Structure 1
Amino acid sequence: MRRELKPLQLADCAPLGTEVTDTDPRMIYHGEMIPVMTPDVAQGIKDARRTLRTNRFRPTGKRMSMIIDGCAGKTTLLLQIGRAYQGLLETERRPDSVWTPVVHINVPPRRESNMDWSLPFADFFGMDHTINIEKRNYRSTDMTEPVVHHMKESGTSLILIDGVDRIHDSELTTAFDYFDCLQDRLRLSIIYCGRGATDIVSEGLHHRRRGERLRTSQQFRSSLPVMEIKPIPFREGAVEEWRSVLKAYDENLVLYHHEPGSLLDFETLLHERTGGYMDTLDQLICQTAQQAIEDGTETITEEGLNDMVVGRQDAEDDWA
């Protein structure tokens, strides 16, 4: 989970006017700029830190799991939490080749048994899960016990599971029984992430089919804490969050003719083009910045933004 993106300085880049290629450091940098801390991400990290801190020092009982739900940006929050948690632990222990406090998997494409659920964990640790390789028999074997042993030895205390929306109805019981078993045996925390994850996890934990409701006198949306990512609004009385995000992007731009603060001149246009969704905003700014480097304008312009094709186009544009 260790990964650090450092800001790029113009003084360390090729001089203005130098012909650039797609592998130029500035082109690469603007392909994935420094992650911007949105209000939802900041709140999610704070909420997760509080829960994980309590979990660490709870001597008995199951550790509380968490859910990340909402629109695009969920995986960003998931990874930010994982890195922040590992960074906190690294202040108490020097990292080594064995210690793996955070494990991150994506829901695999085929999940019919416990064996299938064990394989993404084995892959994370680089374990070979095929048998009879000499005879060209590449059938996989159940890796649950080796995975559990490895997690115990490596001090794993947090599992990040991304893409729970890919778990089908018929797989809910098997999947969540498996996750529940890992949590009981290893005393660790789990964060489930995916579109509609709140309902999926609730259904999986209570062994219900999707769409059914608990027949109780009191309804709860989820028995677990939910961290939700929402589009950032930009309307009268709600403009500061959007402006704070644009300001962060503005400060991260590495363009020779960029005037500090000028990205905010396009705050309305940027929200109209993206709907406040961070994935679309990031793509739009990154593409425009790369184009500005390539064509020599070296600044973000309205013409440059309008020339980019990204998702969430205004429906009116389709008829223009």
Structure 2
Amino acid sequence: MTTWQGWQRFATTEPVVPPQPGDPPRSMEERLAYHSSFVTIRTPAIHTLATQVRALMILGRHQQTTARPSLIVTGPAAAGKTTALLNVGRTCHLAHSRKNPPPPGSTHAAVPVAYVLVPPGATAKTLVTEFARYLGIPVAARMTQTQITDAVCHTYTAAGVQLVLIDEIHRLNPRTTTGAQTADLLKDLTERLPATFVYADISVTDTPLFTGVRGAQLAGRATLVDCGPLPARQATRQPFHDVITDIENNLDLQRHTPGTLPRHAPYLHQRTAGRIGSLTRLIRQAAITAICDSTERITKRSLDAVQLDHLAETQHRPHTRTR
């Protein structure tokens, strides 16, 4: 998805749909494929991010003199940051394409969204080259960073890019010379491109991104959207229980008893520490196992048999010191 062709394919591919009442039963392979890709669960973070992005895009639409306000999606690993980022990007892409279809006979589709991954050990030149690669802008080895940046700003503006999604922003360290130059490049791009920037970062407040002069500039322009673990309770609401119910309602199992997973909400919260990524993986993997062994249902025993990511497992089953 870090090229325009790949992003367009992702954004325009019809998402998988859960089983509908009255539909004929799906084959085993179809159901395995469905649980492998699965639907996007609308978490509170996704709702908040979508609302904030829409408001900031309108707020910055006619801003000319300074950088537009930006957003940072932050939270621990396996909290669903990238999923939220991609979901909002796809929504923006489809909405813009519906409102601005290409003229009859035109072969050029609208380019409302750009998605860029910060490469490991990024320098300013390697990062701006990633921006260029997304739209297929030719970059020769002899070109300077300034020349590539100028080409990127010209092409992105001409293409009408309105939303720039930058993932893995925690790979930047403004305390180093290279990191500071790369952070300056991003600041330059936000001021030259007529687009709203949204970053995704692992626990941004614990990284150097918000420290020093450059960090203060970013903090002064960016709104944080916390994609942290879902609490078991929040005032009178039970957001984790609601998400589990949503996941269960979208399963395609032949003998699963509705209400089983919500009853195990305390266990599931302890098992996954409230992380949406770990939760969906746990339930999807249990569903795939249930199809493969023909039990067609998820129980607490089958959930406990699934080995999750190391982070979730070490929190659920902490190492005990022996005497």
The answer to whether the 8 A contact 1:129-1:141 is kept is no
Corresponding residue of 2:96: 89
Distance 1:60 1:77, change over 3 A: same
Q: In the alignment, what sits opposite 1:207?
A: 214
- TM-score, structure 1 as length reference: 0.81
Q: Secondary structure in 1 aligned to 2:179?
A: helix
Does 1:32 find its partner at 2:37? yes
Mapping of 1:1-320 within 5 angstroms?
A: 1=7, 2-3=11-12, 4-9=14-19, 11=24, 13-14=26-27, 20=28, 24-58=29-63, 60-71=65-76, 72-94=79-101, 97-112=108-123, 114-131=124-141, 142=145, 143-168=148-173, 169-170=175-176, 171-198=178-205, 200-203=208-211, 206-207=213-214, 222-235=220-233, 240-311=238-309, 312-313=312-313, 314=315, 316=317, 318=319
Relative to the length of structure 2, the TM-score reads 0.81
Q: Percent identity?
A: 27
Which stretch has the larger CA shift, 148-157 or 55-64? Answer: 55-64
Q: Distance in 2 between matches of 1:202 and 1:253?
A: 41
Compared with structure 1, are the counterparts of its residues 235 and 192 closer, same or farther at alpha carbon in structure 2 (3 Å cutoff)? closer
Cα RMSD of the aligned pairs, angstroms, is 2.7
* In structure 2, C-alpha distance between the alignment counterparts of 1:164 and 1:187, rounded to whole Å: 20
Match of 1:134 in 2: none
Q: Distance in 2 between matches of 1:167 and 1:111?
A: 7
Amino acid at match of 1:13: R
8 Å Cα contact 1:159/1:190 also seen in 2: yes
Cα distance in 1 for residues equivalent to 2:208 and 2:50? 22
Q: CA deviation at 1:62?
A: 2.6
How far has the Cα of 1:88 moved from its partner? Answer: 2.8
Equivalent-residue separation in structure 1 for 2:255 and 2:209 (angstroms)? 49
Q: Take 1:78 and 1:46, find their aligned partners in 2: how far apart are those partners?
A: 13
Q: Which amino acid aligns with 2:38?
A: M
* Secondary structure at the counterpart of residue 52 of structure 1: helix
Question: Which letter maps to 2:127?
Answer: W
In the alignment, the residues of structure 2 paired with residue 54 and residue 255 of structure 1 have an alpha-carbon distance, to the nearest angstrom, of: 45
Count matched residues.
293
How far residue 155 of structure 1 moved from its aligned partner, in angstroms, is 0.5
Cα displacement (A) at 1:145:
2.9
Partner letter of residue 97 of structure 2? Answer: E
1:247/1:57 CA distance change after superposition, 3 Å: farther
Contact 2:157/2:194 (CA < 8 Å) preserved in 1? Answer: no
Output the amino acid matched with 1:25.
Answer: E
Q: Structure 1 residues 64 and 316 mapped into 2: Cα distance closer, same or farther (>3 Å)? A: closer
CA distance in 2, matches of 1:238, 1:283: 27
Partners of 1:202 and 1:222 within 8 A in 2 = no
Which consecutive residues of structure 1, in runs of 5 or more, have no partner in the other structure?
15-19, 132-138, 209-213, 215-219
1:253 deviation in Å? 0.2
**Residues 147/58 of structure 1: CA separation in 2 closer, same or farther (3 Å cut):** closer
Q: Structure 2: any 5+ residue segments left out of the alignment?
A: 1-6
What secondary structure does 1:34 align onto? coil
Question: Which segment drifts farther, 303-312 or 72-81?
Answer: 72-81
SS in 2 for 1:56: coil
